[in-house]
Amino acid sequence: NAGVTQTPKFQVLKTGQSMTLQCAQDMNHNSMYWYRQDPGMGLRLIYYSASEGTTDKGEVPNGYNVSRLNKREFSLRLESAAPSQTSVYFCASSEFYRGGYGYTFGSGTRLTVV
């Protein structure tokens, strides 16, 4: 019963490098999300997938792409990392998208871009 699993936990990238953050959930949830968390700011939505086969931009999508690989997996890709993308990234899931659902979050990926 892992819930939401994110990999890697830590990553250091050089400016311009690319990488993919992986996320998988085992709760049969329909909706998945990627957030970033920066000091002094609330969680900000990067992209979300309301259901398998769909993805949509959130509040801060620039510089990112996502793939909903199947119902379990939702990956986030940084094509050309920039220092402004230094942050802690959280993947989350919920049973459905539209509703007052509490989200289940992963443990996060701490990304540093130098």
Q: Which residues bind another protein (CB under 8 A)?
A: 4, 40-43, 45, 90, 92, 97-100, 102-108
Residue 53 or 102 having the CB closest to another protein:
102
Residue 3 or 17 having the CB closest to another protein:
3
Q: Where do we find the tokens 């509040």? A: 59
Shortest Cβ distance from residue 81 to another protein (Å)?
22
Shortest Cβ distance from residue 42 to another protein (Å)?
4
How far, CA to CA in Å, does 42 sit from each of 30, 45, 65? Answer: 24, 10, 21
How far, CA to CA in Å, does 107 sit from each of 15, 23, 54, 98, 110? Answer: 25, 10, 24, 23, 10
